[in-house]
Amino acid sequence: MYNLSIPISDENILQLKVGDSVSLSGVMITGRDTVHKWMIETFIKETRQMEGDDLQVYQAIKRLLNGGALYHCGPIVAGLETGDYRFVAAGPTTSIREEPYQGDIMRHFNLKAVIGKGGMGPKTLTACHEVPGVYLHAIGGAASLIAQSVQRVIDVHKLDFGVPEAMWVIEIKDLPLVVTMDAHNNSIHAEVETRSMVELEKLLAT
């Protein structure tokens, strides 16, 4: 078990290999489809003009994502009426939807850890090698359990995207995760896909 604290150093990232268990603590941000698309279009490809609080939010998240972690999560949040936010459920979202964006976001922000479920593809794996960074697999179906690792909600950005799609800034303690894509070009997900294709071809040939 590796005990990691955010921000995460390159040295710590390079020590990790697929299959390693990780306990993660520190301050991180949630982000799903809308956030990834907004980041790419507004700040990386610049195909969309900044508006409203875009620049202010960018400056805030850039500091947090540098050496940080981004969690693919659409939480259920209590306290929306009062602003006394509390995570009720915080299960991981299927990550492959962010594959078109993730590598560029990792490079732009020096993002060290992407957290979700189901794994990602070759673009993200390449970015993990280059940045360097890792993909950390969270436990699917354990949303309430994961929420217990959230010590407090520090802030929220882009709440106008909707509660599941907003960027929640949260402090976590001892979040249990598994490395399934590392900085050494190894991916459990790619290995499973390859083995599955071999078995499928065998079945189709019989």
Rounded percentage of the chain residues whose pLDDT exceeds 70: 92
Q: How many CA atoms lie within 13 A of 44 on its CB side?
A: 19
**Residue 132: band (very low, low, confident or very high) from pLDDT cuts 50, 70, 90:** very high
Structure confidence by residue, pLDDT tens digits, 78-113 = 999 999 999 999 999 999 999 999 999 999 999 999
Name residue 169's beta-bridge partners: 29, 155
Strands of 67-166, DSSP E? 69-71, 76-78, 86-89, 113-116, 134-137, 150-157
Q: Which residues are catalytic?
A: 36
Q: How many domains are contained in the chain?
A: 1
Question: Do 26 and 5 touch, CB atoms closer than 8 A?
Answer: yes
Structure confidence by residue, pLDDT tens digits, 37-86 = 999 999 999 999 999 999 999 999 999 999 999 999 999 999 999 999 99
Here the CATH number for the domain that contains residue 113 is 3.20.130.10
Show the tokens assigned to 118: 């189901």
H helix intervals, 31-121: 33-39, 54-65, 99-109
Structure confidence by residue, pLDDT tens digits, 156-200 = 999 999 999 999 999 999 999 999 999 999 999 866 555 545 544
pLDDT recorded at residue 199: 47
Q: Give residue 9's region: left, alpha or beta (phi > 0; psi -120 to 50).
A: beta
Q: Which domain holds residue 199?
A: 2-205
pLDDT recorded at residue 196: 47
